[in-house]
Amino acid sequence: MTTATLAPESVGLTRDEYEEIRRRLGRDPSPLELRMFGVMWSEHCGYKHSKVTLELLPAESPRLLQGPGENAGVLDIGGGWAVAFKMESHNHPSAVDPFNGAATGVGGIIRDVLSMGARPIALVDSLRFGPLDDPTSRRQAAGIIAGIAAYGNCVGIPTVAGELVAHPGYRGTPLVNVACVGLLRHGDVARSRAAGPGNAVMLVGARTGRDGIGGAAFASAELDTGSEREDRASVQIGDPFAGKLLIEATLDALRAGGVIAVQDLGAAGLTCATSEMAARGGMGMRLELERVPVREEGMRPDEILLSESQERMLLVVAPGATGRVAEIYRRWGLRAAVVGDVVAAPSLTVHSGGTPLVSLPPYALAEAPVHRPAAREPATLRARWTMPDLPMVDPAAALRTLLSTPAVAHKRAVYEQYDHMVQIRTVVVPGAGDAAVLRLPELSPRGLALVADGDGRLADLDPYRGARRAVAEAAANLACVGAAPLGLTDCLNFGNPEHPEVFWTFRQAVTGIADACRAMRIPVVGGNVSFYNESPDGPVLPTPVITMVGLLEDVSRTCGAGFREAEDIIVLISAADPDMAASSYASAVHGIEAGRPADVDLDAHQRVLAVVREAVARGWLSSAHDCSDGGAAVAVAESAILGTIGADVTLPAAARTDAALFGEAPSRFILSLPEDRLSDLQVLAAVHGVPVAILGRTGGDRLRIAATGQREQGWTIDLALDELSRAYESLADIL
Amino acid sequence: MRFGVVIFPASNCDRDCVHVLRAVLGQEVEEVWYEERSLDGLDAVVLPGGFAYGDYLRAGAVAARAPVMTAVRAFAQVGGAVLGICNGFQILLEAGLLPGAMLRNAVLRFRCTTVHVRVESTQTPFTRTLREGHVLQMPIAHGEGNYFAPGSLLSTIEEAGQVVFRYCDADGRVTSDANPNGSVRNVAGVCNPAGNVVGLMPHPERASEEVLGSRDGRLLFESVITTVIARREAPKQSRLYEIATGLRPSQQGRSPRPFGARDD
């Protein structure tokens, strides 16, 4: 192999980065080595623009068994059990090939959790599309949902929670963020550090083909209009059948002993897995390419090294155990081939037919250079904080409009396509409560609660506050089902970080998450950054998405969002006044996205959450629902629709009727409860210094709301539940 | 009693069935690998849901040809109780152990939701202790659950009492609104002529514990336990024996008939 003639730009690297490679190697890289650097130093693998900023995120927790830096974070949940979880994006592949892009996103995150030694027990997906009346966005949405369903359903992991938002800011660049949660015993935590010279390196699972070559580098480039045609070769095809076999076989192999380290093969395939495992262990690795099981004859070394064929894992195995490991995979119909071994010298060497092709220090590949991009506040940001006067509109029509917007509307049309009950853990199914609840028979009566939250519109208007609000909102959703936060994983979706305004926005968002997590003592145990989400129209809405995992002491004492009994008392507990700035109402009804989002007072927020959580855990409440998109009116309407019980409520007066109905603020909840529990709740709230306002009662088949503070002045909204339900089920006609 | 739960590659409700039978109902359970060629020592066999062989080719098509199916066929032939749930039902259809075929859901999408079914026949070990018209609430989760049988076959199995469950509303009315997948005449489950092999699309194992919202599915498992144990152990004079075998005391001395056989 000659040292000549491959321009760094052709593998996505800059001249400076090329010089850095030369400095690290003390020589020119070969073209093959340069291609390996190209994918490993891509943003997707190397986190070169985000690494410094991500260090702001706190991971401290007394429950922490494994923080960021492994394939997934692991937290103790008591009784010798732990949860492993992680969220990742698969935005670029899903833009080009919605079905396969989303499906392989699911497969990839499952393998991340599996490689911690955990059995995957739940999936969460957070989706962003362009407007659903736009044909391309609709096609992408349908394909992405079908892809998630096809993979998740087949592998038998329930998809239990998620988000769906449609906004022009995602036109052409849909976001597909998928999280997986796994369960394991403390003693079974697996890691990816290569150790023990002489140990075998085994490639297990599917064979290696020509698919997905250069996918990581592709994920780090902006899509242009020709992308759909030219980039198809960069999209991998998932095989959920092989994925399911890989889960079972790998769990069997880990339990059988002799497996020292495990890593999934995702972006950058063998190049990434070998260099990262070796680098983490401070070891070297020798790889013999002719031992790699390939799908087709005549694959070139670079194709084998960079292939992103799915459903593969790399194991480091004690020499005496390779036969047993191979037999376990064979039993599940999969291959397990010894492709090399661990060596003491810190060098990753690749041979083909005895010829050495590559010899690199693993850390040189795995530790991409760190960039500190310029940051600048977007020039137009502050101007957008001025909220124009909104004209008055028919409140009933506005309520119907809000209920039918995709972010608010019932997601039945989506989650019915997902098996959300397999593994028989799902106690609160998607749509029934503010978060999904899974029972843990291993720790009965304890359970887990899962939720995903993010708001690109808020983050666009104030990334710091928007990110804090996302963390606060996730914790609020958990409180409604009676769960306390254990930890979170985040997916940070932004445009091109080389644009100073995009990078400033990113850094503000990370700072917001970090501050909120410190204040609420919630560890960030892992996550993912997706940059370069840009279409010809510009960057996507900056979208930090949080997947938060919570713990319940008793799943039989959880709570749904729908009213449960007629003649219950409806109360609003709240630590903030509603505001029209950056509200869904201004956006969905008036087409205005302006105003500075209110910040969340995290101390007050924590106190309100404590009240809600305790009231749920004591079994006082019939329903608990947090006021988010569309404010108190939408929250009451949702509780009524979900419970098929009407209500008469009087909302506290505000400066304007529409602000009382649809104004938004964090830390506000609509609860319903039997009258004889009201005084208990009031005492509890008083202890925490949280105001409780009695709004009215459940009952009947209409929703009647007085927004003037006084019922005598007549109903501001008076609608039949059927009519509200029709608006709320709007997605049924679309997806 | 002793259940077998068959594990095909990519079965994914096998662990759920094992949990319900073992931990909830306290039965002995053997996990039967798909390469197994004998089911000796088992009293009943469950083919669980999932995506055996990824449902590649056609749902259940490859699994129906797995080695264990030879043993399942032999087990069924001597009157052994066999329950196919969801993918297990599809496999039994593909194996020819049950009549009819599955089409894609009329909505052309996978559907996971909770449905009601009405018990149409109590002449199977899985429904023997229920009553006709009993309404059960259970989840479904499938993409190919649109049961089809051509008119003549449908008439035959309906007349022979081989339709075991139909989708219905909460009050037991068999309506098109209550049909989640387009199945012909709302058929949700069928049995073979002898009644000992039953397939259904809903998941009884997902409705066997109160915390999951319904315990109706448990009735199917409890029925087969009662039936099999009674067949084996109950004194021949007893009502239990009568329930289990369909034999009235006057018919004693004749050997027990296969499940579902009728007086002529």
Using CB atoms within 10 Å of the CB of residue A297, give its burial: 0 to 12 exposed, 13 to 18 middle, 19+ buried. Answer: exposed
- Reported in sequence order, the residue ranges of A344-435 that DSSP labels E, i.e. its strands, are 348-352, 355-360, 426-428
pLDDT of residue A159: 98
Residue A332 φ/ψ, nearest 5 degrees: -90, 15
pLDDT of residue B245: 57
Confidence of residue B232 (pLDDT cuts 50, 70, 90): confident
Rounded Cα gap, residues B162 and B93, in angstroms: 13
Cβ–Cβ of A417/B23 closer than 8 Å?
Answer: no
Confidence of residue B246 (pLDDT cuts 50, 70, 90): low
Three-state SS for A583-651 is: CHHHHHHHCCCCCCCCCCCHHHHHHHHHHHHHHHHCCCCCEEEECCCCHHHHHHHHHHHHHCCCEEEEC
Contact A512, A31 (CB under 8 A): no
Rounded Cα gap, residues A356 and A344, in angstroms: 18
pLDDT of residue A1: 42
Q: Closest Cα partner for A624 from A572, A566, A580?
A: A572
B85 pLDDT more than 70: yes
Rounded Cα gap, residues B239 and B244, in angstroms: 9
First to last CA, chain A: 52
Using CB atoms within 10 Å of the CB of residue A463, give its burial: 0 to 12 exposed, 13 to 18 middle, 19+ buried. Answer: buried
Task: List CB contacts of A431: < 8 A, sequence separation 6 or more.
Answer: A410, A411, A412, A415, A642
Confidence of residue B260 (pLDDT cuts 50, 70, 90): very low
A583 interfacial to chain B (CB closer than 8 Å): no
Half-sphere exposure of A210 (CA within 13 A, CB side): 7
Contact B197, B76 (CB under 8 A): yes
User: Residue A290 corresponds to which amino acid?
Assistant: E
Contact A659, A578 (CB under 8 A): yes
| pLDDT under 70: residue ranges of chain A | 1-5, 212, 214-235
Express each pLDDT in B120-153 by its tens digit: 999 999 999 999 999 999 999 999 999 999 999 9
B83 pLDDT more than 80: yes
Rounded Cα gap, residues A180 and A122, in angstroms: 6
Q: Closest Cα partner for A353 from A435, A288, A269?
A: A288
pLDDT of residue B199: 98
User: Residue A673 corresponds to which amino acid?
Assistant: L
What is the rounded average pLDDT for all residues in chain B? 91
Angle at B220 between CA B86 and CA B131, to 5 degrees: 120
The answer as to CATH 2.60.40.10 being correct for domain B2-247 is no
Q: Is the dihedral of CA B34, B38, B42, B43 positive or negative?
A: positive
Contact A455, A470 (CB under 8 A): yes
Contact A227, A311 (CB under 8 A): no
Angle at A544 between CA A541 and CA A549, to 5 degrees: 150
- Scanning A203-242 for CB atoms below 8 A from B yields 239-242
Domain ranges in chain B are: 2-247
Confidence of residue B235 (pLDDT cuts 50, 70, 90): low
pLDDT of residue A471: 98
pLDDT of residue A713: 79
Confidence of residue B157 (pLDDT cuts 50, 70, 90): very high
User: Which chain B residues contact residue A421 at CB under 8 A?
Assistant: 112, 139, 141, 203, 206, 212
pLDDT of residue A216: 61
Task: List CB contacts of A577: < 8 A, sequence separation 6 or more.
Answer: A654, A663, A665
Rounded Cα gap, residues A632 and A693, in angstroms: 12
Rounded Cα gap, residues B10 and A240, in angstroms: 9
Rounded Cα gap, residues A344 and A567, in angstroms: 73
The residues of B carrying an active-site annotation are 86, 203, 205
Nearest to B54 among A241, A426, A441 (CB): A241
CB atoms within 10 A of CB A441: 16
Cβ–Cβ of A424/B113 closer than 8 Å?
Answer: no
What CATH fold (topology level) applies to the domain A559-735?
A: Phosphoribosyl-aminoimidazole Synthetase; Chain A, domain 2 (3.90.650)
Contact A485, A478 (CB under 8 A): yes
User: Which chain A residues contact residue B55 at CB under 8 A?
Assistant: 154
Rounded Cα gap, residues A715 and B260, in angstroms: 62
Q: Which two tokens stand for residue A85?
A: 């979880």
B255 pLDDT more than 60: no
Contact A547, A473 (CB under 8 A): no
Nearest to A332 among B9, B51, B112 (CB): B9
Q: What is the DSSP letter of A723?
A: H
CB atoms within 10 A of CB B242: 16
User: Residue A171 corresponds to which amino acid?
Assistant: R
Q: Closest Cα partner for B139 from B107, B177, B168, B112?
A: B112
Å between B126 CA and nearest CA of chain A: 21
Contact A179, A524 (CB under 8 A): no
Cβ–Cβ of A153/B143 closer than 8 Å?
Answer: yes
Cβ–Cβ of B54/A426 closer than 8 Å?
Answer: no
Active site residue A420: no
**A579 annotated ligand-binding residue:** no
Contact A600, A664 (CB under 8 A): no
Rounded Cα gap, residues A633 and A614, in angstroms: 25
Residue A230 φ/ψ, nearest 5 degrees: -75, -25
pLDDT of residue A354: 87
**A532 annotated ligand-binding residue:** no
Cβ–Cβ of A556/B206 closer than 8 Å?
Answer: no
Please tell me whether the peptide bond between A445 and the residue prior to it is cis, using omega within 30 degrees of 0.
yes
Cβ–Cβ of A422/B13 closer than 8 Å?
Answer: yes
pLDDT of residue A268: 87
Search chain A and give the residue with CA nearest B33.
Answer: A331
pLDDT of residue A521: 97
Search chain B and give the residue with CA nearest A421.
Answer: B206
Nearest to B51 among A241, A421, A555 (CB): A241
Cβ–Cβ of B23/A439 closer than 8 Å?
Answer: no
Q: Closest Cα partner for A435 from A477, A486, A381, A407?
A: A477
User: Which chain B residues contact residue A441 at CB under 8 A?
Assistant: 19, 23
